[in-house]
């Protein structure tokens, strides 16, 4: 019996994924975003194979403009810019994903507990509202300055300060789920809170949580670029923001080495835009109210 139910559940999941995909595919902006995203994720994963040079290796060929040898030229110590960008994708995306993971887990848990257990709701939401009001970027700068420049610090600081909106959105979704018939009936039968959370609430907020996580990644990448640009990250991890930091403090950009500082900004813009497009497309697909009337 249980086995049959489980296999039926599997079929429903497959069917749901198929419907989901067919709706998502019709969202043009979402598809553009997904394509850009997959492109950069591919680059980040296979950076070692794709990149033409070692991005950390010095050479005598400094400030070389774009040529066949160095497609995007070199910087002040002769490092190949294209290789820097390719490896930078890996660092920027990793920081973005990890920080978003932290903030989504925190925001998701607070949202779920706050929405489901009425007793702690007002306390948790008060805390959330305070975190919404406190300007997070200056606090990130402060914490990163105290803890010293390190890539882990940057990830943790961004993750710890970017959860409030997720908490709010998840909470309101849980609040409405809690009133649904299937949750009520499970309660009447005598299901425990843990069971209800695990079997009814969590599966139903997962899509929303996922869409939110995607938007959190884009926010985290922007924050990382900003912190790196202020010199608050580890200079040995050259993310796109860090490349721009170097281009500025080593004067490359005033000297007119456009091949050094223009490409990293394009990469950041494209990736952030892609995450935003995918996040909103997911939101639209999963939330029928938002679909085009």
Partner 1 sequence: MGLRRYIVKRGIDTTITFFIIIIINFLLPRLMPGDPVSRLIGSRVQMSYEERIALLKTYGLDKQLHEQFIIYLSNLLRGDLGVSLSRYPTPVIEVLMYGLPWTILLVGFSTFLAILIGTVLGIISGWRRGGRFDIASLIVALATYSTPVFWIGMLLIFFFAVRIRIFPIGGAFDPEFITFAFSPAYILNVIKHMVLPTIALTLILYGGQYLIVRSSIIETLTEDYILTAYAKGLKESTIMFKHAARNALLPAISYAAIEIGLIVAGAVLTETVFSWPGVGTIIYNAVSDRDYPVIQGAFFIIALSVLLANFIADIVYGVLDPRIRYG
| Interface ranges with partner 1 (CB under 8 A) | 126, 129-130, 133-139, 141-143, 145-147, 218, 222-223, 225-226, 229-232, 241, 244, 247-248, 253-254, 256, 258, 261-262, 264-265, 268-269, 272-273, 276-277, 293
Work out how close the CB of 23 gets to partner 1 at its nearest, in angstroms, rounded to a whole number: 19
Give dist(CA 133, CA 164) in Å, integer: 10
- Please name which of 200, 220, 212, 83 lies closest in space to residue 155, comparing C-alpha atoms: 220
Toward partner 1, which CB reaches closer, 27 or 223? Answer: 223
Counting every residue, how long is the chain? 293
Q: What is the rounded CA–CA span in Å between residue 75 and residue 57?
A: 11
Q: Which two tokens stand for residue 6?
A: 């489980």
Based on its alpha-carbon atoms, the radius of gyration of the chain, rounded to whole angstroms, reads: 23
CA-closest candidate to residue 239, choices 89, 42, 112, 100: 89
CB of 223 to partner 1, least distance (A): 8
Closest separation in Å from C-beta 138 to partner 1: 5
Nearer to partner 1, 203 or 256 (CB): 256
Is the CB of 166 or the CB of 197 nearer to partner 1?
A: 166
- The angle subtended at Cα 127 by Cα 145 and Cα 141, nearest 5°, is 15
Q: Which is nearer to partner 1, 105 or 143 (CB)?
A: 143
Give min distance, CB of 64 to partner 1, in A. 18
Angle at 244 between CA 232 and CA 154, to 5 degrees: 25
- Nearer to partner 1 (CB atom), residue 36 or residue 186: 36
Residue partners of 33: CB distance under 8 A and separation at least 6: 273, 274, 275, 276, 277, 278, 281
Of the two residues 225 and 285, which places its CB atom closer to partner 1 in the complex? Answer: 225
CA proximity to 232, closest of 135, 157, 162, 136 = 157
| Strand stretches in the chain, DSSP E | none
**Sole residue written with tokens 């702690």:** 120
Nearer to partner 1 by C-beta: 187 or 248?
248
């Amino acid at each position: 019996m249980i086995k049959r139910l489980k296999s039926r559940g599997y079929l429903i999941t497959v069917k749901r994924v198929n419907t989901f995909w067919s709706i998502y595919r019709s969202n043009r902006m979402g598809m553009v975003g997904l394509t850009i995203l997959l492109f950069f994720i591919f680059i980040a994963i296979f950076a070692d194979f794709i990149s033409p040079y070692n991005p950390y290796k010095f050479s005598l060929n400094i400030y070389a403009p774009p040529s066949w040898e160095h497609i995007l030229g070199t910087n002040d110590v002769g490092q190949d810019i294209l290789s820097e960008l390719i490896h930078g994708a890996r660092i920027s995306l990793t920081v973005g994903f990890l920080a978003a993971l932290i903030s989504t887990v925190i925001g998701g848990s607070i949202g779920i507990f706050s929405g489901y257990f009425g007793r702690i709701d007002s306390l948790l939401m008060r805390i959330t509202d305070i975190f919404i009001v406190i300007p997070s970027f200056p606090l990130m700068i402060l914490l990163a300055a105290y803890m010293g420049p390190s890539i882990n610090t940057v990830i943790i600081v961004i993750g710890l300060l970017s959860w409030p909106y997720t908490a709010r959105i998840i909470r309101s979704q849980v609040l409405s789920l809690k009133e649904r018939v299937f949750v009520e009936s499970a309660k009447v039968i005598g299901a425990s809170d843990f069971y209800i959370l695990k079997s009814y609430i969590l599966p139903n907020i997962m899509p929303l949580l996922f869409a939110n996580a995607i938007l959190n990644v884009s926010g985290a990448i922007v924050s990382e670029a900003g912190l790196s640009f202020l010199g608050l990250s580890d200079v040995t991890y050259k993310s796109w923001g860090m490349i721009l930091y170097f281009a500025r403090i080593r004067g490359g950009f005033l000297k007119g080495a456009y091949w050094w500082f223009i490409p990293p900004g394009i990469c950041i813009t494209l990736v952030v835009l892609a995450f935003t497009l995918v996040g909103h497309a997911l939101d639209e697909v999963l939330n029928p109210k938002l679909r085009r009337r």
